Structure 1
Amino acid sequence: MMLCWILISLFVGFIKAQEVIYAQLGGTVTLPREKVEGNADSVYVNWFRGSDPNPAISKNPQSGIQKEKEIKTHAHLLDDFSLQISPVQDFDFVIWRCEQHELQKTSKKTYKLYHVTIPKVSAVMVGAFLSLQCNVDDSSVIPEVKWIAPKNSDCNPGKYDKVKETVTITNVDRCHSGVWTCKLKYGGKETKATTAVFVIDLSPPIPDTIYTSPLTSSSTVKIPCSLYSNIPWLDLNETGLRGGSWSFTPLSDPPSTHPLLNLNIGPVVRWDVVNGTDGIPTIEGRELKDQDLSIHNLRVSEKIRGNYTCSLKFKSKILSRTVKVEVLKILSSEGSRVYEGKSVNLTCTLGHQQTSDFKVKWNCSSCSFVSSLGPSHPFTLLIPELKVKDSGRWTCELWKGKNKLTSAVLSLKIEKPPVNIWLIVAICGGVVGFILLIVIIIMCIRRHRQMMMYRRRKTKFCCCKNPQQNQKGFYKT
C-alpha cells in the first residue's frame, strides 16, 4: 500500500514537472530553453522527442546544429536555442526534453504538447447560424479561453454569444467572414489557434452607379460583381449553389428585363452568353477562376444605359446586386460639321433630366468663348456665331459635389460656307453669253465693212459706138 502511494506521488510529481504547452495541428509552437549560467556559446543543448534516446536536434560549440532526418523540414532552433516546430504534426504531441550541459553542470526541462483544435465549419450563408468551438485536451492546467473576431475594415462584427469555449452567432453578417482566433492563456503562457470562416454573400457594388462615356470608339466599361469571401468554387457548390445570371433592364418606359449571361457550374465554372439578345448590349462569356463575377469589356454606347443585376441562386436563398450605368454624351443641334457664322446648341446629357446636385463644366482648348460663362456652366451651351477658330475638341465634365464623375468629348469642325453652284453657273453663263454677243457684234461689223469695200471696188462699164468696127455691146473704159 505504501509502495502504491509512493508510485502515485512520483507520477504526480513527474506530471507536475512537465510544463504544459498547447499547440494547434498545422500551426507553430515554441518550446523555450531555460537560460543557464555561463556563456551561451559554450553550452551543449540537446532536444529529445518522446522516449527516443537520441537527440532530435542538438547544438554543440564544435559541430554546430545537428538534426534528425525526419524533422529537418519542420523543426529548428531559434537564436537563443529554443525549439520552434512549424508546422506542428501529429507525432509532435509527445513529451519533449531539453538537456543542457556546461562544464560539469547539467540542467533538464520537460514539456508536454497538448492539442487545441477548432472543428472546421463549412461556408455559411449570410443571415444563417454559426457556431465555433475551441476544444482543448485535459491537462494539469485549465486555460482561459477568449475568442477574437476578424478585423474587417468595412464593418463592425458586433456582439456574439460566448459560452465557455463555444461562440455562437444567430444572424451571420459579412463582417463575420475571415480568420477567427481562439486565444488560450495558462501559466503565464499564451497559445493561439485559428480557423477561417467563409460567409457567402455578394459584395456591395462600389459605386452602385457607374458614370461613363464613349471617349473613343473602343471605350469599354466593367460592371462589378463579386463574392464577399474568396471561397473556392468547390466549397461553394457544396453549399447548395444552383446557378446564377446577369440581366439588363434599360432606362426606358415601360422597362423590360433581358437575360444576358447564365452561370455554368460544371467542371469549368463560366459565364455563358444567352442566345437571342438582339437590341441589347453585346456581352462576352468568360471562365471564372476566383470570386470576380463582373462583366468585363462592355463596349460603351448609348444603348448600355440601364440597370444590370447579378444573381446567384442557392437552395435556400437568392443573392443579387444591381448596378446602374449612366452614359454621358454631348449632342450638337447642327451635327459635328458646322459652317462658319451659324449658331449651335451643345447639350451635355445623360439621356434624362438631371437633379440639381449635378453640375457641368465646359472646356474648349481652341476657343475663348467658355471663359465668359462664369463659374456656373449650363447643361445646354448656346454658341451664337461660330468661327473657324472654334474647331476642336469640346469637353463636358459631369460633377456631383466635389467629385468628377465622368466627361464626354465632341469634335467640332467649323468650315467656310460653300458658294451656291447655280449662282456660279448663272454667272458663268452670263459671262459666256456676253462674250458671244460681243463676238457676234464684231463679226457683223466686219461683215458690213467687207460688203462696203466690195461695192467700192466693183468694175464700171459704158455703152458707146465704134464706127470703125461697127460692133455693138459694152466696152471697158
Structure 2
Amino acid sequence: MMFSWILISLLVGFLKAQESHTVVYAQIGGTATLPRQAWGSKDNVYVNWYRGSDNNPTISRNPQSGNTKGKDATTRVSLLSDFSLQISPVQDFDFEVWRCEQHEFNSKSSKTYRLYRVTIPKVPALMVGESLSLECKLEPSSAQPTVTWIPPGNSDCQQMPPIIRKTISVTDVSRCHSGVWTCKVEYDKNMRKMREAVATTIVSVIELSLSPPIYTSLFSKVNIPCSLSSNIPWSVLNETGLQGGSWSFSPLSNQNEQQPLLRLTVGPVVRWDVTPGTNSSVMGRELKDQDLSIRELPVSEKIRGKYNCNLKFNSKTLSSEVKVEVLQVSSSLGPRLYEGQMVNLTCTLGHPLDPDLTVKWTCRSCSTLPSSPFVSIPEVKMEHGGQWKCELLKNGKTLTYAVLSLKIEKAPVDIWLCVAISSGVVLFILLLVIAIIGIRRHKQMMMYRRRKTRFCCCKTPQPKGFYKT
C-alpha cells in the first residue's frame, strides 16, 4: 500500500514537473530559441544549459572569462546576447527537456524547457488547376496555441490574406499559390507579448509562365521565352508524369497553319530536338534548368507569327503562346536613289498597327516628321541620304526600332540623254499625229465642197450629154 502511494506521488510530481516546463515549439531544420529567465546580475551570473538528464552542460557562460564553452558551443547551439539558448538547425533528437541553471555567489536558479514539434506534411508538386491541402500539426502540450497560415507573396499576384486554421484547402491553384507557405504558431502569452514559432513548407505548382508579345527587328537574333513558373527539378516533373513537349509555329500569313519546330526528349538528359522536316532556323539544345526557350533564332520576315510551347503530362497538357512581331523599314525604290526621284518609306510590322502603338521617325537632316508608318519624299535630295530610324513605341516606351540606310546619287548623263531622246520621240510622234489629223480634215473638206455641185437630165430634146443648170 505504501509502495502504491509512493508511485502515485512520484507520478503526480512528474506530471507537475511536466506542466512546469516552459513550452517551446520548433520545426525540424528550423531555429528554436529557449528564453533565459532574467535572474541575478548580468555581469556576474553563471549560466549553464543542459540537455535532458546530461550532467555535463551543453553550453555555459563564465562571467570571469567572458567566454562560452561546451561540446556544442561552436556548432548548432549558441548563446544569444541575453544568454538565451538558440538551436539551429533543430534536429529530431533536440525535442526533449532542456534545463537552464544560473548561479551567482551562493544563490542558484533553475528552469526547465520542453521542445515540441511543429510538423507540416510534405505536399507533392501540383498541376495548375488542382487542389491544395495543407496541415500544420502540433505536438500536444500544456499550451493553447493559435495557428495562422501566411500565403506566399508572389509578384504580379494579388496578396492573399492570412488564414487562421490548422488545416486549409485551396481549389484551382495557380502560380500565385506557388512558393513558401508559413505556419505561424502563437502561444504562451505573458505580460509583454505572445511567443511564437514559425514553420514553412514549399508548394510547387507546375505551370508555364506567360510572356508578352516580343518586338524585334531585322538583322538580329531573338530568344522566344518559355519557362516553368516555379523552380521545379526535372526529376520532380518526371515523377509527376511528364511525357514530352513541343514547340510549334503559326505564321502571320496563315494563323490556322501549325508548323512543328522542336520536340522534347525526356530521360536522364532532357533536350530539345529539331523536328524532322521542319523548315526553320531553330536549333536543338540540352536543357539544364526550367528555361524551355528557343535560343538565338535569326530574325526575318518569315518568323512573324505565334509560337506555342507545350508540356505533355499524363493528366493534362500545359501550353504557353508567344507572339513575335518584326519591325521593318523599306523604301519603294530601294536603298539606292537618284536626286529628283520621288520615294515612299514604310515602317511596318506586316499588318496595321494596334491602336496603342505609335512610330517615331528620325533622320540626320529632318526637322519634323509625321508620326505615321508612311513617309513620302516628293523630290529626293542629297541631304536625305544616311540612316532613317523608325522607333516603335507603346505608352511612350520604345519597344524596338529599325534602321534603313539611303544612298543618294546624282543622276548620270546617260540618264538625261535617254530622257531627252525619249522626249524628242514623244514630240515627233505628237507632231506626226497632228499632221495626219490635219490631212484627214483637209480631205474631208474637199469632199464636202464637191457634193454641193448639182447635175440633171432635161425632158426636152437636147444634145446628148450633161449640162449645168
TM-score, structure 2 length as denominator? 0.83
SS in 1 for 2:83: coil
Distance 1:357 1:26 in 2: 52
The question of whether the paired residues in 2 share the 8 Å contact of 1:311 and 1:319 is answered with: yes
Distance 1:341 1:170 in 2: 70
Pair 1:192 & 2:198 matched: yes
Aligned to 1:213: 217
Aligned to 2:378: 384
Aligned to 1:473: none
Aligned to 2:399: 405
Aligned to 2:181: 180
2:58 is aligned with what amino acid?
Answer: A
Distance 2:415 2:222 in 1: 47
Offset from partner CA, 1:207-235 (integer Å, 9 cap, x none): 2x111112xx3x11121111111111111
Offset from partner CA, 1:243-279 (integer Å, 9 cap, x none): 111111111137421111111222122222222222x
The question of whether the paired residues in 1 share the 8 Å contact of 2:255 and 2:305 is answered with: no
Offset from partner CA, 1:427-461 (integer Å, 9 cap, x none): xxxxxxxxxxxxxxxxxxxxxxxxxxxxxxxxxxx
Offset from partner CA, 1:172-208 (integer Å, 9 cap, x none): 2221111111111111221111100001111111x2x
Q: 1:355/1:95 Cα in 2 relative to 1: closer, same or farther (>3 Å)? A: closer
SS in 2 for 1:73: coil
SS in 2 for 1:11: helix
SS in 2 for 1:187: strand
Report the alpha carbon displacement of residue 102 of structure 1 after superposing the two structures with TM: 1.0
Q: 1:71/1:232 Cα in 2 relative to 1: closer, same or farther (>3 Å)? A: farther
SS in 1 for 2:43: helix
Aligned to 1:444: none
Distance 2:415 2:357 in 1: 48
Greater Cα offset, 110-119 or 62-71: 62-71
Aligned to 1:134: 136
Distance 1:299 1:80 in 2: 64
Q: Where does 1:118-129 land on structure 2 (aligned, <5 Å)?
A: 118-129=120-131
- Give structure 2 stretches of 5+ with no counterpart: 190-194, 419-469
Q: Where does 1:143-154 land on structure 2 (aligned, <5 Å)?
A: 143-154=145-156
Aligned to 2:312: 313
Q: Where does 1:50-69 land on structure 2 (aligned, <5 Å)?
A: 50-69=52-71
Distance 2:80 2:215 in 1: 56
Distance 1:346 1:251 in 2: 22
The structure with more radius of gyration = 1
Distance 1:138 1:355 in 2: 63
Q: 1:156/1:65 Cα in 2 relative to 1: closer, same or farther (>3 Å)? A: same
The question of whether the paired residues in 1 share the 8 Å contact of 2:46 and 2:103 is answered with: yes
Aligned to 2:94: 92
SS in 1 for 2:130: coil
Aligned to 2:192: none
Q: 1:356/1:231 Cα in 2 relative to 1: closer, same or farther (>3 Å)? A: closer
Offset from partner CA, 1:250-309 (integer Å, 9 cap, x none): 11137421111111222122222222222x3x1122222222211121111111101001
Offset from partner CA, 1:355-389 (integer Å, 9 cap, x none): 44432221101x13x52x4xx43322111111112
Aligned to 1:241: 242
Distance 1:318 1:179 in 2: 25
Pair 1:359 & 2:391 matched: no
SS in 2 for 1:41: coil
Q: 1:73/1:226 Cα in 2 relative to 1: closer, same or farther (>3 Å)? A: same
Offset from partner CA, 1:21-52 (integer Å, 9 cap, x none): 111001001111111132x1221111101111
1:408 is aligned with what amino acid?
Answer: A
Aligned to 2:421: none
Aligned to 1:304: 303
Aligned to 1:414: 408
SS in 1 for 2:89: coil
Q: 1:4/1:69 Cα in 2 relative to 1: closer, same or farther (>3 Å)? A: closer
The question of whether the paired residues in 2 share the 8 Å contact of 1:160 and 1:168 is answered with: no
Report the alpha carbon displacement of residue 400 of structure 1 after superposing the two structures with TM: 3.4
1:171 is aligned with what amino acid?
Answer: D
Distance 1:160 1:187 in 2: 21
Q: 1:112/1:153 Cα in 2 relative to 1: closer, same or farther (>3 Å)? A: same
Q: 1:243/1:201 Cα in 2 relative to 1: closer, same or farther (>3 Å)? A: same
1:263 is aligned with what amino acid?
Answer: L
Distance 1:422 1:125 in 2: 74
Pair 1:20 & 2:20 matched: no
The question of whether the paired residues in 2 share the 8 Å contact of 1:327 and 1:350 is answered with: yes
Distance 1:175 1:98 in 2: 44
SS in 1 for 2:38: coil
Report the alpha carbon displacement of residue 396 of structure 1 after superposing the two structures with TM: 1.2
Distance 1:300 1:79 in 2: 62
Aligned partner (choices 36, 39, 42) of residue 39 of structure 2: 36
Distance 1:254 1:13 in 2: 78
TM-score, structure 1 length as denominator? 0.81
2:349 is aligned with what amino acid?
Answer: L
Report the alpha carbon displacement of residue 157 of structure 1 after superposing the two structures with TM: 6.0
Report the alpha carbon displacement of residue 4 of structure 1 after superposing the two structures with TM: 4.0
Aligned to 2:77: 75
* Identical residues among aligned pairs (%): 59
1:201 is aligned with what amino acid?
Answer: E
SS in 1 for 2:13: helix
2:224 is aligned with what amino acid?
Answer: I
Aligned to 2:271: 270
Distance 1:65 1:87 in 2: 22
Distance 1:263 1:179 in 2: 30
Distance 2:417 2:171 in 1: 88
